[in-house]
Amino acid sequence: MSAERFSYTPSRPRRPFLRGCLIMVLVLGGVFVLLGVVSRMDGFFFLRGEKVGVLTISGLIIDSEATIEQLKKFARDDSVKAIVVRLNTPGGGVGPSQEIHEEVRKIRGKKVILASMGALAASGGYYIACGADKIFANPGTITGSIGVLMKFLNVKDLIEKIGVKGFVVKSGSFKDTGSPIREMSPEERKLLQSVIDNVHSQFVNAVAEGRNLPRDAVLAIADGRILSGEQAKELGLIDALGNLEDAVAEAGKMAKIEGEPRVVTLPKKKFSFLDLLREEAKSIIDEKLTQTQIRLDYLAQ
């Protein structure tokens, strides 16, 4: 008999534990990706139907770009039937306040848009609110402060004491108006007052038009005074006393939404560490620059 030859090839050991771990990692990764997508959509995809968009403006108003972009997104979304602008701000720069107010007015002709005041919605905050269809405030909300201001710092006496002298070469007599190293001349003060009076008049006109009030009635209280929500309602500066939920319910009713409105907000912009550093550096530079520049503010003091 011929000897049969047998060959033996060792089989690779099976590793079900490692395979199971790999599958688990892939599944969990897919779940996290899905959750990330859902969080970014913030309900805009899954919450189909008629909605009320809520946009919050808080803190000092120094820029209008992000707020206007959010307002436009709500305006373009056909499922968002009404918008509520939630205000918690003492006001801020004249330019940004006017730009947001103008965007609110544009939307007002296309969709229902209401303003809801939190603890504070004064000066530039009220300027924005008066462009809306209706204004809600709490009884104790601080609002009003219809006025304009410019701030100047003069260190002339201080630098003289420490032996420092400042020199300016300028092309015209008003080019360094507001300089901190010298006294302001009567002509400069008169010029700045005329600018403030003009911008103040713009504020008064915006309130009179937005609130459908006689201009003289607005002018009588446009001296920078703050008002409570109750006082503002008595003067016709707001429409109703109520919180954010009341404003949302009214917005839904005005937009003829059946049942309870679905409230949606836009996702906040995601910042990387480098973005945060860049924004911080920009804010510091802007703050230092504005200390030496003339700036108009709709700001409650």
Task: Point out the residues that are catalytic.
Answer: 123, 175
| Contact present, 113 and 89 (Cβ < 8 Å) | no
Structure tokens, 103: 């965007």
* Separation of alpha carbons 297 and 169, rounded Å: 28
195 in helix, strand or coil? Answer: helix
Contact 216, 132 (CB under 8 A): no
Amino acid identity for residue 244 in this structure: L
Give me the residues paired with residue 120 across strands. 142
Are 137 and 233 spatial neighbours (Cβ–Cβ below 8 Å)? yes
- Written as one letter, the residue type at 54 is V
- Joined together, the tokens standing for residue 84 give 């509520």
3-state secondary structure of 122: strand
